[in-house]
Amino acid sequence: MTAERHAYAKPEPPGGAPVRVPRQRKAAAQRVVAYLVTVWIVVTLVFVLPRAVPGDPLAVYDNAEAPLTPEARAAFESHYHLDRPLLAQYAHYLRSIARADFGDSIAQRASVGFLLRRRLPWTLLLVGTSLAVSSAVSFAAGITSAWRRGSATDRRLLTAMTMLHAVPEYVLATLLLILFGVVIPIFPIASASTPFTASSGQLYKLADVAFHLALPAMALSLGLVGTKFLLVRNTTISVLGQEYMVAARAKGLPDQLLKYRHAGRNVLLPFLTVVGLQVAFAAGGALFVETVFGYPGLASLMIPAVENKDFPLLEACFLLMALLVLTVNLAVDMAYARLDPRVGAE
């Protein structure tokens, strides 16, 4: 039998056995290629769109009291490469992006990299905390609501989450600011830390940052929780009638095991997709929340940059926000493929 199997086996090419790339690996490579193409499109749009807006980026230096001389204007245009043709500016922009060199801000008169290192971590902290909190709350509340469908708990959760889903983040931020910062002054209403605490211990600094983060993260989390809750509730309701759930319930398994191990696993895949899609909404909502609370994130750079047509700063901020959204969606897509092999092979 062994000899017959070898006789009919396909001969191997010289140099060893043929290398076969699994379908899942091919699909992952295709996703990475699509991600890189999307990044290039985003990079191009980030370059083109600010320049399509009318206005003079050097107007911040040119005023009635001290107008720019022709020599000074020529020097500024040369420094920021504004005197070059558009294609030459685009080529310089691509080379700078490849080196992670964003140049100097026109209005802020400082290195863009220096400004981003000061502001970007605060936005990432706010967005990451809000996504984590809203995901945990919506997942647990959605499964609980579906498990108690038709009860008073289900009706209360459904009403509250639907209302939160309909209210914009900046309205929630304003209400929380007035309620817990003015009427009941529990939390600070501005900044991300208390001034003059450089000599304090690390534990105090962490507690102080968390204290200042509480209201902004609460506002953004409440704005994100409604969509995920509705998805988890509806998906769980559709799962509860499946045969394997009926069989598991008939075996007398505990409710916690049925809810989170059996039903929760089936909810996890669409839930991850929504979490990935919500990164864009969280990043956009964070700008409004940061503005309301005076939180020192990217909003404090982007809003003045838009007003002043600060090309280098605008390009860097928009590009980083877009890369954050695209990278998280790629990671979620990869995780989805690992959790469901049928998707990974497509």
Q: Show the tokens assigned to 100.
A: 């992670």
Distance CA 83, CA 93 (A): 14
E strands, 169-233, in order: none
Q: What's the chain's average pLDDT? A: 83
Q: How many CB atoms lie within 10 A of CB 166?
A: 9
**Is 42:320 a contact under the CB 8 Å cutoff?**
no
Least confident of 51-65, 208-222, 265-279, 317-331: 51-65
Q: Crossing angle of helices 264-293/202-240, nearest 10°?
A: 140
Q: 128-147, pLDDT tens digit by residue?
A: 999 999 999 999 899 889 88
pLDDT for 41 equals 92
Distance CA 59, CA 106 (A): 10
Residue showing tokens 């940061």:
290
Report the SS3 class of residue 211. Answer: helix
pLDDT for 4 equals 43
Half-sphere exposure of 254 (CA within 13 A, CB side): 4
Q: Show the tokens assigned to 98.
A: 């490849």
Q: Tell me which residue of 85, 59, 38, 9 sits closest to 333, measured CA to CA.
A: 38
pLDDT for 1 equals 43
Distance CA 295, CA 278 (A): 21
pLDDT for 7 equals 42
Distance CA 301, CA 118 (A): 10
pLDDT for 221 equals 94
Distance CA 137, CA 133 (A): 6
Kindly tell me if the per-residue pLDDT of 115 is higher than 90.
yes
Distance CA 108, CA 156 (A): 49
**Is 267:139 a contact under the CB 8 Å cutoff?**
yes
Q: Show the tokens assigned to 153.
A: 């708990």
Distance CA 65, CA 67 (A): 6
Q: Show the tokens assigned to 277.
A: 């899609």
Q: Tell me which residue of 155, 146, 295, 143 sits closest to 219, measured CA to CA.
A: 295
Q: Tell me which residue of 273, 338, 272 sits closest to 27, measured CA to CA.
A: 338
* Cross-strand pairs, 104: 111
pLDDT for 258 equals 75
Which of 289 and 259 is assigned the larger pLDDT?
A: 289
Q: Tell me which residue of 287, 277, 292, 285 sits closest to 317, measured CA to CA.
A: 287
Q: Give residue 12's pLDDT band: very low, low, confident or very high (50, 70, 90).
A: very low
